[in-house]
Amino acid sequence: MTEDVRRKLGLRPVINVSGTMTSLGASIVVPEAIAAMSEILPQFVEINDLQRKASAVIARLTGAEAGYVTASCSAGISLAVAGAMTGDNLLTIERLPDQTPVRNEVIIQMGHIVSYGAPVDQAIRLAGAEPVVIGQATSTHRFHMENAITDKTAAAVYVVSHHVVDYGLLNLIEFVEIAHAKGVPVIVDAASEYDLRIFLAQGADLVLYSGHKFLGGPTSGIVAGRKELVRHAFLQNLGIGRGMKVGKESVYGVMAALEAWEKRDHAGIRERESGYLRLWKETLDGRPGVHAVIDPDPTKNPLDRLRVGIIAEEAHITAWDLASALANGDQPIIVRDHEVEHHYFYLDPCNLHPGQETTVARRLAEELDKARASNEVIATPFESRSRHRFDGLLRWPD
């Protein structure tokens, strides 16, 4: 590797075992996308023609009729919803989000209103649409959805994510069936999913992916699906989409990342990642109060993670204090800690550079040895952790 740019900038050289996180710089961009971006950056292109080329690549990989590239999957939600409301009426497009079209309601299950760093329902409201929330946190039935669809319904949004409630809700096939029976298009947020075809195959009208997650492209969003709906979302570039634009480098970078994805040695990568998990598990097995289990991805992506459960009294440290100790070292290691109040965190193997797995194993052993050697249990009350969650951000840039 060339000299680490982070050293030059005075940034901490973090090792990412958290997953694909915007807050950590998303993913390792694949060499094909980096090369494509450098190649196109000095040239002028007619951007809508470039997007036409992107449409063809997106269509080939997803099975969609058409597609285009925008700033992010989050932008894709706003733009897809906007398109479902405005159609190709350029005046309405220009007036969003103020002039709300006749059809301005968007159906979404309560158990799908999650935060991926910002709330899903805000991405809907940004377009000027009004979310119509159906069901309760852990239950949606057909009657909830059937009764919520009216003449004002513009679309229905379905979220696929480890963040959503994973039982008691309508699955995509039922959701589509109910929406289509009343002529309502279904938009699927599949930001973080590997399978580029399944949601359209299950009847979604539009599907949205992040370019910068598993695909390893530049920060971007992919909108794919029925040609007319894709066009209506694309036309938002004359309106609210302007603030969500991508440059030529991102469009071409995503095209290259998609083509690289098609050729990627998925089995080989999985094998390498399994090796990391085995190494970490061997490092942890037999340590008092530490239980390491290999867990499959909750939305069935072909990816496993190591769940590291901690019994504080035996390990002499809580799961969250261990996560903080790893994050505070000279080589900061950021673990996947969304559920850490349950006394476990995950180690995600999919964003590592080769060799970093041994640093992770060594640091785990060091911190656990140190905790065991201490006479007191290292146990910060969980409440104090949540109380200070946003301190740093609220002081930014200082």
Ligand X SMILES: *Cc1c(COP(=O)(O)O)cnc(C)c1O
122 in contact with ligand X (CB under 6 A): no
State the minimum distance, in angstroms, from the CB of residue 119 to ligand X: 10
User: Which of 55, 62, 70, 72: binder of ligand X (CB under 6 A)?
Assistant: 72
Rounded to whole angstroms, the Cα distance separating 211 from 106 reads: 25
State the minimum distance, in angstroms, from the CB of residue 91 to ligand X: 28
73 in contact with ligand X (CB under 6 A): yes
> Candidates 71-79, 133-141, 245-253, 343-351 — which segment interacts with ligand X by CB under 6 A?
71-79
18 in contact with ligand X (CB under 6 A): no
Give whichever of 133 and 377 is closer to ligand X, judged by the CB atom. Answer: 133
Find out whether 177 and 142 touch, Cβ atoms under 8 Å. Answer: no
Q: Token digits for 75?
A: 């932008």
State the minimum distance, in angstroms, from the CB of residue 244 to ligand X: 10
Give whichever of 74 and 92 is closer to ligand X, judged by the CB atom. Answer: 74
State the minimum distance, in angstroms, from the CB of residue 72 to ligand X: 3
Find out whether 193 and 209 touch, Cβ atoms under 8 Å. Answer: yes
| Nearest residue to 379 (alpha-carbon basis) of 316, 286, 323, 334 | 316
Strand, coil or helix: what is 216?
coil
134 in contact with ligand X (CB under 6 A): no
CA angle, 232 then 234 then 236, to 5°: 80
Provide the mask over 19-58, with x wherever binding to ligand X is found by CB under 6 A and - wherever it is not.
---x------------------------------------
Provide the mask over 213-232, with x wherever binding to ligand X is found by CB under 6 A and - wherever it is not.
--------x-----------
359 in contact with ligand X (CB under 6 A): no
Give whichever of 39 and 166 is closer to ligand X, judged by the CB atom. Answer: 166
User: Which of 191, 244, 246, 254: binder of ligand X (CB under 6 A)?
Assistant: 191
Classify the C-alpha dihedral 138-141-144-150 as positive or negative. Answer: positive
From the CB of residue 170, how many other CB atoms can be counted at a distance below 10 Å? 24
Rounded to whole angstroms, the Cα distance separating 190 from 119 reads: 15
Instruction: List, in sequence order, every beta strand (DSSP E) within 190-276.
Output: 206-210, 221-225
Classify the C-alpha dihedral 61-67-68-69 as positive or negative. Answer: negative
Q: Token digits for 280?
A: 């970490």
Strand, coil or helix: what is 123?
helix
Rounded to whole angstroms, the Cα distance separating 232 from 73 reads: 16
Provide the mask over 273-312, with x wherever binding to ligand X is found by CB under 6 A and - wherever it is not.
----------------------------------------
User: Which of 116, 158, 199, 214: binder of ligand X (CB under 6 A)?
Assistant: 116
Q: Which residues bind ligand X (CB under 6 A)?
A: 22, 72-74, 116, 159, 161, 189, 191-192, 210, 221
